[in-house]
Amino acid sequence: MPYEFASSSLGYKGISHYEGDEASNHTALPCPGELLVEEHHSNYGEPWAGGRDVFEFLAEASRLKPNARVLEIGCGTLRVGLHFIRYLNPGNFHCLEKDELSLMAALRYELPSQGLLHKRPLIVRGDDMEFSKFGSDVAYDLIYASAVFLHMPDELVWTGVERLVDKLKPYEGRMFVSHNIKFCTRLGGEKCTERLASLGLEPLGKQTHDSLLFNHYEICYFPGNIVNPSIGAEISRGSSSENGFGSCSGGGSPRSLRGGTAEVSRRERRSRTRYPEGWESLLAFVKNSIFNGSKEVSLAAINCLQTAVVSHCVKGNLQLRYLNSVMDVYELVFQKSSSYTGDTATKVKQEILHGLGELYVQSLKMFDDKMYMQLLGIVDLAIKQAIISSENFETEFGHVPPVLRHVLEILPSLGPPDHLSSMWLILLREFLDYLPRVDSALPNEEGEIKQSTTGHRASSEVSEHKADVLSDKTIPTTRITSNMFAEKLIPALVELLLQAPAVEKYILFPEIIQSLRRCMMTRRDNPDGSLWKVAAEGFNRLLVEDVKICSAVGDTDLKISKTARMRIWKEIGDVYEIFLVGYCGRALSSNSLPAAALKANETLEMALLDGLGDVILKSTVDAPREVLERLVLTLDRCASRTCSLPIETVELMPAHCSRFSLTCLQKLFSLSSFEIENWHSTRAEVSRISITTLMERCEFILSRFLIDENNLGKRPIPTARLEEIIFSLQELDRLTIHPETASVLQLRPSLKTILQEDNRDSRAHLIVLFPSLCEIVLSRETPVRELVQVLLRAVATELGLKK
């Protein structure tokens, strides 16, 4: 191996151990006399000149270049190391040596005498196989240990080998030890091989050369276990041929897969400069095994690729082209598998989806837009094929098909990294397309009405990608929906949206809300279904969490335009108005739902009311006034259920309907009240809106009760109506309002002025209702009459008339 020697035209005449006057005519080299007579050259039992022979063999076998990095374990006095130092670029030779005298000979004699100090070799003293001082990110092209393992305890050797695995450059790095692998011999050949394999290492055998010293044994590093031994042992016990990706006649047995893969990897590892060709051979072998092998062979082949690639993704040293090639293989499998059915095809797709999720998590920093689109295209193919081939699966078995379950498992991990933030729109829109949709006129991002289509823009982008790679039209272009799949998909989409960056999240917010609204509307045709419930839960969680975020960071930090936020609030208002008014608190036929289901539905309805009345309308939201008015009006419309019904109908109303109506009425009281610990501009605005609506509702309840009582004569008042008026009177007695809220009440200006000056306006709402209270004070219902009397005394107190 040719290499460059240092120039002989140096600035000194040579080294010397002269003393006195003669010393000034030479370059002094202060070191012990035994070094000057080179006694250390005889310490090895072999000629010193053999170091050059070893260097030439190792450099040739490793195809070493000057920019390579070399680590020698036990470099001694640099018999071999001098040649590496001279050949390599400065700083590229590292050594770990424990012997102090050897280090003295190397540093105080050999390096200065050979003029190699400028090459700055890093030589560290140590006997614990600790390599951290060489740097955490260094990767070596060659690691060499000359007989040093012979004199070390076995466990220390294994500790060192384990640490060296991460130091060796993947695919191209080589490791050599001299004499023989005594630590392997003592452990036992087969056990040693297995232990090396668990580290991603393999002994390749003796490398013979014309050395004056000794032969060398190479231990090769490769990217993970190409075949998992446990899988190989398991599948070798059975080689049943199953239809799916063709028969196994051309794919060989599981044992042949194991041996063939090992042969491919062995051939590739022995020629590092031909690794791309070896990798292509491996890919061809794996693809053939997937398409032509049995189920066991196909799964083992996928595991080959997965283990090899993921092991290096974790270390961050995988080249992008190899990652791309694995993605291409996975994509090809789905493209070619659309005409296959059966257990083998299903298992292969599940394994690939699981592998895709793991591969993406471990290498997401390497993904670009094109790769991410390819990932989504593969997942989209998997979903469509699963739904097409499993049309009756949900009806027959009552759960989501296995492939779709795997999609749902990996979906939470598919969120794009920071450098691919624009992909959030593609991801979420693609999966939104699998929720139930109906053609309807929807506003676009500019607020213009535009007829919606059956697909999203993101879906068309993914479809364009698939059109580029699909040569045959195996996947239909029409939308395919699965309610059971949608039920499982909604919580994952909500979670992903909450994780998305603010800009992308609020672009998608209206589309998400529209999709959830459509799912919630399925309650009309399928009241016992789960889709509307999951959608309602997702809608409630999405809004509650978003309001908390907005309240925490403030509107100015969200970087969202006012127009975009107004569109979001409009969609929110639509959902609450349509669902609460049209679908909640409604009477159903007596035998339509079991009691447990009715209770669960009522709990969900109450959770929606709590989210609206206790969180959204009481937080510092940026909703415009018209939206706040609409939301309060929605609560009022729901609160009017009991009092608006004819007296004959009220008696037939189920209990859960009256409870829903009373809860909405309670929210109006709560929104109108003054809460000193939670009072801000939005809260004050909502309170002013609510108090006006509440006063109108209370006046209607009081007047309607009086009319019904007169019409019924001696007949009893329906329980629901009686509970409503008693609840209203009790809440009126407890209600205190803020002066800003009192300012919007319909009172004479002079009376308002008096109340404000005397700070008696916290119960000014009772004065508004004074005429109605006076009329109902003669009610024949004792609880009503007593409560009205309490309120009249409170009015007297407010007016300063109480004795």
Q: Is the pLDDT of residue 524 over 70?
A: yes
Identify the residue with better confidence: 569 or 12: 569
Q: What pLDDT, on a 0 to 100 scale, did the predictor assign at position 45?
A: 56
Identify the residue with better confidence: 504 or 45: 504
Helix, strand, coil in percent for the chain, rounding step 5: 60, 5, 30
Distance CA 692, CA 698 (A): 10
Q: Which helix (H) or strand (E) holds 201?
A: strand 201-207
Residue 349 CA, chain-centre distance (Å), reads 21
pLDDT tens digits, 326-340: 899 889 888 886 555
* Average pLDDT of span 464-483: 46
Distance CA 527, CA 518 (A): 14
Distance CA 468, CA 457 (A): 17
Distance CA 561, CA 690 (A): 28
Under the banding of pLDDT at 50, 70 and 90, the label for residue 10 is very low
Identify the residue with better confidence: 218 or 769: 769
Distance CA 228, CA 175 (A): 23
Q: What is the DSSP letter of 168?
A: B
Q: How many CB atoms lie within 10 A of CB 552?
A: 9
Q: What pLDDT, on a 0 to 100 scale, did the predictor assign at position 297?
A: 81
**Bridge pairing between strands 216-221 and 174-178:** antiparallel
Q: What pLDDT, on a 0 to 100 scale, did the predictor assign at position 254?
A: 34
Identify the residue with better confidence: 694 or 136: 694
* Average pLDDT of span 456-475: 45
Largest CA distance in the chain: 138
pLDDT tens digits, 661-717: 999 999 999 999 998 888 989 999 999 999 999 999 999 999 999 998 888 888 888
Q: What pLDDT, on a 0 to 100 scale, did the predictor assign at position 690?
A: 94
For the ranges 575-579, 608-612, 741-745, the lowest mean pLDDT is seen at: 741-745
Q: What pLDDT, on a 0 to 100 scale, did the predictor assign at position 353?
A: 92
**Measured between alpha carbons, how far is residue 209 from residues 55, 85, 182, 217, 728 in Å?**
11, 22, 20, 11, 101
Identify the residue with better confidence: 58 or 798: 58
Smallest Cα–Cα separation from 674: which of 735, 727, 761?
735
Q: Is the pLDDT of residue 209 over 80?
A: no
Distance CA 565, CA 180 (A): 73
pLDDT tens digits, 277-304: 677 888 888 888 888 877 888 888 888 7
Asked if 73 and 145 touch (Cβ cutoff 8 Å), the reply is: yes
Distance CA 523, CA 518 (A): 10
Identify the residue with better confidence: 417 or 750: 417
Q: Is the pLDDT of residue 601 over 80?
A: yes
Rounded to the nearest integer, the mean pLDDT of the chain is 77
Q: What are phi and psi of 569, to 5 degrees?
A: -65, -30
Q: What pLDDT, on a 0 to 100 scale, did the predictor assign at position 743?
A: 87
Residue 90, CA atoms < 13 Å, CB-side half-sphere? 7
pLDDT tens digits, 343-379: 778 888 899 999 899 999 988 888 999 999 999 999 9
pLDDT tens digits, 105-129: 888 888 888 888 888 999 888 888 8
* Average pLDDT of span 626-646: 92
Under the banding of pLDDT at 50, 70 and 90, the label for residue 798 is confident
Q: What pLDDT, on a 0 to 100 scale, did the predictor assign at position 163?
A: 84
What does the block give as tokens for 685?
């605005």
Smallest Cα–Cα separation from 133: which of 145, 146, 149, 122?
122
What is the CATH code for 15-221? 3.40.50.150
Q: Is the pLDDT of residue 756 over 90?
A: no
Question: Can you spell out the DSSP letters for 214-231?
Answer: --EEEEEE-SS-SS-HHH
Q: Is the pLDDT of residue 794 over 70?
A: yes
Q: What pLDDT, on a 0 to 100 scale, did the predictor assign at position 377?
A: 93
Distance CA 458, CA 443 (A): 17
Question: Can you spell out the DSSP letters for 283-328?
Answer: HHHHHHHHHHS-HHHHHHHHHHHHHHHHHHHHHT---HHHHHHHHH
Question: Which residues neighbour 419 within 8 Å (Cβ) at sequence distance 6 or greater?
Answer: 365
* Average pLDDT of span 796-802: 76
Highest mean pLDDT among 20-24, 310-314, 609-613, 767-771 belongs to 609-613
Q: Is the pLDDT of residue 394 over 70?
A: no
Under the banding of pLDDT at 50, 70 and 90, the label for residue 99 is confident
Domain boundaries, the chain: 15-221, 647-798
Smallest Cα–Cα separation from 147: which of 114, 176, 126, 124?
176
Residue 242 burial (C-beta neighbours within 10 Å; 0-12, 13-18, 19+): middle
Asked if 517 and 583 touch (Cβ cutoff 8 Å), the reply is: no
Q: What are phi and psi of 709, to 5 degrees?
A: -65, -40
Distance CA 157, CA 729 (A): 85
Q: Is the pLDDT of residue 53 over 70?
A: yes
Distance CA 274, CA 268 (A): 7
Q: Is the pLDDT of residue 572 over 90?
A: yes
Q: Is the pLDDT of residue 450 over 70?
A: no
Identify the residue with better confidence: 467 or 621: 621
Q: What pLDDT, on a 0 to 100 scale, did the predictor assign at position 31?
A: 62
Q: Is the pLDDT of residue 251 over 60?
A: no
Question: Can you spell out the DSSP letters for 101-149?
Answer: HHHHHIIIIIHHHTT-GGG--EEEE-SS---GGG-SS--BSEEEESSGG
Helices first, then strands: H and E counts in the chain: 36, 11
Question: Which residues neighbour 539 within 8 Å (Cβ) at sequence distance 6 or greater?
Answer: 513, 516, 517, 520, 575, 608
Distance CA 295, CA 235 (A): 10
Smallest Cα–Cα separation from 402: which of 353, 340, 346?
346
The residues facing 142 across adjacent strands are: 70, 174
Q: What pLDDT, on a 0 to 100 scale, did the predictor assign at position 595?
A: 83
Residue showing tokens 């059915």: 341
What does the block give as tokens for 456?
């999203």
Whether the model clears a pTM of 0.85, i.e. scores above it, the answer is no
Q: Is the pLDDT of residue 537 over 80?
A: yes
Q: How many CB atoms lie within 10 A of CB 633?
A: 15
Distance CA 99, CA 174 (A): 25
pLDDT tens digits, 180-206: 555 566 555 567 777 777 776 666 655
Under the banding of pLDDT at 50, 70 and 90, the label for residue 138 is confident
Query: Three-state DSSP class for 729?
Result: helix
Question: Can you spell out the DSSP letters for 620-637?
Answer: -----HHHHHHHHHHHHH
